[in-house]
Amino acid sequence: MDRVPVGDAFRYRTGEFLMITVTESPQQAPGTPEALQSPRKSELLLSVDGLSKKFCRSLKRSLFYGLRDIATESLGRKRKSGELRTGEFWALKNVSLTLHRGESLGLVGPNGAGKSTLLRVISGLIKPDTGVVRVRAQVAPLIALGAGFSPVLTGRENIYVNMSILGLAKKTIAERFAEVLDFAEIGDAIDAPVQTYSSGMVARLGFACAVFANADILLIDEVLAVGDMKFRMKCYRRLARLREEGTSFILVSHNAQTILSVCDSALYLSAGELVLADEPRAVMSRYEADLLYSKPSLEVEPLRGQNETRSGSEELNVTRVYVKDGHGNPLESLVTGETATLCVVSKVRKELKDVDMIVAISNLSSDGERVLHLSSQYDAQTMNLNAGEVEIQLRLPHCGLMPGWYSAKIAITQNSIRVLDVVESFRFRISSEQNAENNMFYQPRTWQAVNLQQESKWDVSS
């Protein structure tokens, strides 16, 4: 099959080739970026060319437009899908991508960028206004786990209903039922109505149904953020196994580490348009940079490399914060694994004893998650400060943080209870000159091979 009408375009069947075509599309999108071509050149499962989708913000006007479009199509006329009407906006505009067997594609972007809309179009939940979607695969959307469950049916009954919707026969579901139940870990609750389940139990059951449907493509929309840590790790292991077996993923996540560790390539969407298509590290770096400087709430303490007059205590106030490398040169960004020193310059008006500096570092790429809490007092290294200009230094022999954007809250206290001054947010970036994206932190290391017979060895340092 080469082409099907739009109204019939969403009947997915395993091995069936479908093409969703809507005319009057905007200017044809350029060819699929080279960065998105699978290095394995394996079987092409999904191709999206020049896809656009618009919505109307007014419910009343949206219903009116819908009725008018139905009337236009029933009369055999062509509606102008490529033009915006009053109150409409583009949720997606001219987006293109490809997905090969065994490939994992990450989607990143701020809320409202069009990520979920793109998944809904690919899964067949909504129709595009312009563009072409070609699918040769069975698709399983993990967009809202348990959204299709009936609250009055038992978990057992919902498994059969849900997996039937995903295209499995009753006999096949029965054969996989034990695996689904074992993965979900809900025990005897399987025969209780779903309305008695907790949200975590519903998520477990929904995910289990989807991953045991043996689909060719999984559309995953932030569902890995639910459940406890043990269940999330179990989900990641299952997804890794499915990928080894040839299953492809499109993964939406705001967690940079997830995108970097799971995906082969990534797309950055903003306001419905494709900003960048490249390998994950380049895409996440661009996204995080745009995200950092688009949030007014992050513009708290612009102290980077600048002299500032700030109101601290009568005894001390911070005037400057910056970072430098192992040779004393100021840095615009730190480098993973390299020596760095955080310098806090203060004006001290009188001699101070037992001064402690506290540095709390948060990862702006992971919704402000705290990653480090350092204190000179905890390290038994409180300081005595003389009057005048004093630079307090925190030296890191190896910067252990991974690439990304961070914020440090810096507090200078005396005797652990008296706060002398606080810098609420010193923002900085960490880059990497090595392949570090698959790690959670940098580990200094040395490799060696030892000949046990001759008791000799050679070293290779990393």
> What is the per-residue pLDDT across 197-230, written as a single tens digit (0 to 9) for each?
887 788 788 888 888 888 888 888 776 655 567 7
Q: How far apart are CA 428 and CA 442, in angstroms?
A: 17
Q: How far apart are CA 404 and CA 292, in angstroms?
A: 10
Q: What mean pLDDT comes out for the span 237-241?
A: 83
Return the pLDDT at 19: 45
> Quick one: pLDDT band at residue 11, thresholds 50, 70, 90?
very low
Helix (H, G, I), strand (E, B) or coil at 40: coil
> Quick one: pLDDT band at residue 23, thresholds 50, 70, 90?
very low
Total Cβ atoms within 10 A of residue 448: 9
Angle at alpha carbon of residue 138, lines to 137 and 143, rounded to 5°: 120
The answer to whether residues 193 and 151 touch, using CB atoms and an 8 Å cutoff, is yes
pTM over 0.75? The answer is no
Return the pLDDT at 144: 65
Q: What does pLDDT average to over the chain?
A: 78
Q: What mean pLDDT comes out for the span 437-459?
A: 72
Decide if pLDDT at 421 tops 60: yes
Candidates 427, 182, 418, 238; CA nearest to 323 is: 427
Both tokens assigned to 260: 């970097």
Q: What mean pLDDT comes out for the span 273-293?
A: 80
Candidates 207, 268, 203, 205; CA nearest to 236 is: 207
- Which stretches of 185-327 are DSSP H helices? 199-211, 229-244, 256-262, 280-293
The answer to whether residues 94 and 50 touch, using CB atoms and an 8 Å cutoff, is yes
